[in-house]
Amino acid sequence: MDCIFCKIVDGELPAKKVYEDEHVVAFHDINPIAPVHVLMIPKKHIPSLLAIGEADKELIGHLHLSLQKVAEAMDVKESGFRVVTNIGTHGQQTVFHLHYHLIGGRQLEWTM
């Protein structure tokens, strides 16, 4: 499958990983918008939040618990951070493998 993030999962493309287990992997965004900008993905290819199915409930819960671990590892647990998933055209999704941006390390604004 021609998916950048599947290639990162498979080790075909390099990435600066900050967390990995059997089901998920987190790595630095190649084009960070803040001092901390990590992408958390399931290893399973799911195109977006809209494609999450009943069978993925446990995986998505696990992914959220893993986000807590990444926040701690990146030292933003106390200062706060933002978790975002972009969906489709208006959401400006560019990679169609479910991913959560974990953004922090500076004061964020809320402008769209």
Does position 45 bind Zn ion by CB under 5 A? yes
Edge-to-edge strand order for the sheet containing 17-20? 17-20, 24-28, 36-42, 100-104, 81-84
Q: Which of the listed partners (ligand 5GP, Zn ion, none) does 51 bind, with a CB threshold of 5 to 8 Å by partner kind?
A: none
62 belongs to the catalytic site: no
Q: Which of the listed partners (Zn ion, ligand 5GP, none) does 97 bind, with a CB threshold of 5 to 8 Å by partner kind?
A: Zn ion
- In angstroms, the CA 35 to CA 55 distance is 35
| Pairing verdict, β 81-84 and 36-42 | unpaired
One residue of 1, 11, 12, 31 binding ligand 5GP per CB under 6 A: 31
> 50 Cβ partners below 8 Å, 6+ apart?
87, 88
Site for ligand 5GP in 44-103 (CB under 6 A): 86, 92-95
CB of residue 105 to Zn ion, shortest distance in Å: 27
Site residues, Zn ion (CB under 5 A): 3, 5-6, 45, 97
